[in-house]
Structure 1
Amino acid sequence: MLPTLLNQSSVPVLEQTVNFAQSRHGVLAGNIANIDTPGYKTRDLSPELFQKSLKRAIEARNAPPEPELSPGLMMPHEREQHLEQFDEVSESTKHILYHDLSDVSLESQVAELAKNQSLHSVAVSLLSQQFRLLESAISERVA
């Protein structure tokens, strides 16, 4: 029951966003570390690909279930498949974009790093808030 409850909340979306931002942060930091390396090609993770994958996963999750396959009536293996729709989103963190040799700019890399840090901070803050709400709801039920 708890996995189904969490899957219907924003927790999986925020989890994937935090994972993407963390992976992208490492790639961008590597670009900055190698800024003076001759012939180094900057790399990046595609925010557009991540957003498209995340959107597809959200749409799949929110699609109305077939009448005989509502989550409460699913067999355990079917329920696991229903909960794994966000697994494809994590694949978007493995597609590294390589840029040409002319764009190794410290300013652009620092700007991208700052935007990525903002995304990460917002996602972590929202995720923390979701867990506080869940904790509050659980403690009210117990009392």
Structure 2
Amino acid sequence: MTFFNTKTAQILERSLDASSLRHKVLANNIANVDTPNFKRSDISFDSALQSYLDDDSIPIKGMVTHPRHIPIGVHSFSQIQPEIVAEDSTIYNNNGNNVDIDSEMTQLAQNQIKYNALIQQINGHFAKLRNAIGGR
């Protein structure tokens, strides 16, 4: 494992990718606020990341000793990817649309704050590496 390919850097990078994708999905929801029968979307990532980080979340850890074995639980961080999920269960407007503009704008602002926090974490991570390399 290299200095730049640490677990922390991988988690921050994947979280930044998920936040960027969430911004695109929320912007799409906002753009389609008046489209009849449009169903809002969001991404599923935070719970998968949290369950990967919690060792106790999966009480049984399966071991794959043959290519045809079915793996139990998440064994690799590369398996955790942000996924776009459509929300079909609700109808908010009379035209069949379920986008609430106030909720979407709030989520967009929260996502922007999270994105900025992730950028600060990445900058801090690489500043520590720069200091270690520079000997300061």
Could you state the TM-score of these two structures normalised by the residue count of structure 2? 0.70
Q: CA deviation at 1:121?
A: 0.8
**2:91 equivalent in structure 1:** 101
Greater relative contact order: 1 or 2 (C-alpha under 8 angstroms, separation 6 or more)?
Answer: 1
Classify the secondary structure of the residue corresponding to 1:96: strand
Alignment of 1:8-23 (within 5 A): 8=7, 10-23=8-21
Question: Residue 54 of structure 1: which of 43, 49, 52 is its match?
Answer: 49
Deviation string 1:72-95 (CA, Å, 9 cap, x unpaired) is: xxxxxxxxxxxx8221222xx124
Runs of 4+ in 1 over 4 A off after TM superposition: none
Q: CA deviation at 1:41?
A: 0.9
Identity %: 29
Tell me, yes or no, if the aligned pair for 1:45 and 1:96 is still in contact at 8 Å.
Answer: yes
Name the CA distance, whole Å, in 2 between partners of 1:30 and 1:116: 14
Name the CA distance, whole Å, in 2 between partners of 1:125 and 1:30: 26
Q: Alpha carbon RMSD of aligned pairs, Å?
A: 2.2
What are structure 2's unaligned runs of at least 5 residues?
Answer: 56-74, 93-97
Could you state the TM-score of these two structures normalised by the residue count of structure 1? 0.67
Deviation string 1:88-121 (CA, Å, 9 cap, x unpaired) is: 222xx12413243313211110001111111111
Classify the secondary structure of the residue corresponding to 1:115: helix
Classify the secondary structure of the residue corresponding to 1:101: coil
What are structure 1's unaligned runs of at least 5 residues?
Answer: 61-83
Q: CA deviation at 1:13?
A: 1.7
Tell me, yes or no, if the aligned pair for 1:6 and 1:12 is still in contact at 8 Å.
Answer: yes
Question: Residue 85 of structure 1: which of 52, 55, 76 is its match?
Answer: 76
Deviation string 1:17-54 (CA, Å, 9 cap, x unpaired) is: 111111111000000011111111111113xxx22321
